[in-house]
């Protein structure tokens, strides 16, 4: 009798475990599910730059002449015309080099070809996410300039030398970039160069806006690991395209998260934009994976006006990696101008 009861209890326990395992298996998504109709629910979003709300302490013991400049975190005191600067932001490295400012120390490597000469001649002090403090201290910077990708390290950097965050406002990228140009002009006595650079940006955007008039709607999105994330008119990629150049968004009711709204190929077909503006994130950051062109080469996307007319623009990697940089903005605007002029 006792042996029979033990056997019954054992069988019941095994049955319960089996049912539980089946339920978990049904709930777990397939690991190798294709990025097609299910892309909306599985769309990968790039890792967000960690936002740091802790106030950055301004330095009150800066040697020599001191001025106050506008930064991402408000007005901050900085040394006037410092000789040794360290830069942890590609967009600001772009702008500084365009102004003729010597970048003395920066990250170890860069994927953007036009910034490689700047990096090659500078002291190497780590990465955007992980500064090399030993190398940085050896460089003895008088000013450190960062962007959002270095937010996690900004307070520790500020212990080495006066540090300012100069991330451009992605909701108003063009004007914010020009504000950064003016701030650097104040610091480094480069106002004439700054005025010329701002005029070049304005002209490039004017040309793009003129070329884009009457050319239809657009959808801006990131392809990341075979999955898609749409960018709204207030995003890093969508803002300047929709607001500054004037390309009408195909979806005015887009609900965007921190890195876009997950979308599917069916969504693209349903919205049927005249233009597709695509950022291949995997290629931009050097990750292995299916190229954006291959991801989009499918029957659903092929039915859109954009695909039929060949109106698919693969955005320059700098629009993602060096957002807000002066030369990057000019390059991006010229890319759009050329695409619009070649429209069928």
CB 218 within 8 A of CB 230: no
Q: What whole-number distance in Å separates Cα of residue 283 and Cα of residue 178?
A: 28
* For helices 173-188 and 90-98, angle between their N-to-C axes, nearest 10 degrees: 60
| Superfamily of domain 214-341 in the CATH hierarchy | Nitrogenase molybdenum iron protein domain (3.40.50.1980)
Per-residue pLDDT band at 258 (split at 50, 70, 90) = low
| pLDDT of amino acid 319 | 93
Q: Is 153 helix (H, G, I), strand (E, B) or coil?
A: helix
pLDDT, tens digit (0-9, with 9 covering 90-100), for 114-162: 999 999 999 999 999 999 999 999 999 999 999 988 989 999 999 999 9
Q: Is 45 helix (H, G, I), strand (E, B) or coil?
A: coil
The reported pTM is: 0.83
| pLDDT of amino acid 242 | 93
Q: Are strands 227-231 and 248-249 parallel, antiparallel or unpaired?
A: unpaired
Q: In the chain, which residues fall in CATH 3.40.50.1980?
A: 66-167, 214-341
Provide CATH code, domain 66-167. Answer: 3.40.50.1980
Highest mean pLDDT among 19-28, 55-64, 232-241: 55-64
Percent of the chain surpassing pLDDT 90: 73
Sequence-separated (6 or more) residues with CB below 8 Å from residue 173:
236, 239, 240, 244, 323, 324, 329
SS percent in the chain: helix, strand, coil, step 5: 45, 15, 35
256-287 residues labelled b (16+ CB within 10 A) or e (exposed): beebbbbbbbebbbebebbbbbbbbbbbbeee
């Amino acid at each position: 009798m006792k042996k029979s009861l033990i056997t019954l209890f054992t069988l019941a326990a095994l049955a319960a475990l089996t049912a539980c395992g089946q339920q978990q298996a049904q709930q777990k998504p397939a690991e190798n599910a294709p990025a097609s109709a299910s892309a909306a629910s599985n769309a990968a979003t790039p890792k967000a730059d960690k936002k740091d709300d802790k106030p950055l302490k301004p330095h009150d013991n800066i040697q020599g002449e001191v001025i106050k400049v506008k930064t991402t975190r408000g007005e901050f005191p900085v040394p006037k015309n410092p000789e040794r600067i360290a830069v942890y932001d590609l967009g600001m490295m772009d702008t500084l080099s365009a102004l003729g400012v010597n970048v003395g120390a920066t990250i170890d490597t860069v994927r953007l070809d036009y910034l490689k000469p700047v990096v090659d001649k500078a002291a190497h002090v780590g990465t955007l996410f992980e500064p090399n403090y030993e190398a940085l201290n050896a460089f003895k910077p008088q000013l450190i300039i960062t962007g959002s990708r270095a937010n996690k390290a900004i307070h520790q950097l500020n212990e080495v030398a006066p540090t300012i965050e100069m991330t451009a406002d992605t909701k108003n990228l063009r004007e914010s970039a020009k504000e950064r140009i003016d701030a650097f002009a104040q610091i480094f006595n480069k106002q004439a160069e700054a005025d010329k650079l701002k005029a070049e940006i304005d002209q490039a955007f004017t040309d793009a806006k003129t070329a884009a008039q009457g050319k239809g709607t657009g959808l801006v999105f990131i392809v990341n690991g075979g999955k898609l994330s749409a960018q709204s008119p207030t995003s890093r990629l969508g803002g300047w395209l929709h607001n500054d150049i004037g390309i009408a968004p195909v979806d005015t009711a887009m609900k965007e998260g921190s890195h876009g709204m997950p979308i599917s190929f069916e969504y693209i077909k349903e919205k049927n934009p005249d233009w597709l503006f695509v950022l291949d994130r995997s290629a931009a950051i050097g990750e292995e994976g299916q190229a954006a062109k291959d991801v989009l080469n499918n029957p659903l996307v092929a039915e859109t006006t954009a695909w039929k007319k060949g109106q698919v623009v693969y955005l320059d990697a700098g629009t993602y990696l060096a957002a807000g940089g002066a030369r990057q903005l000019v390059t991006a605007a010229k890319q759009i101008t050329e695409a619009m002029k070649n429209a069928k």
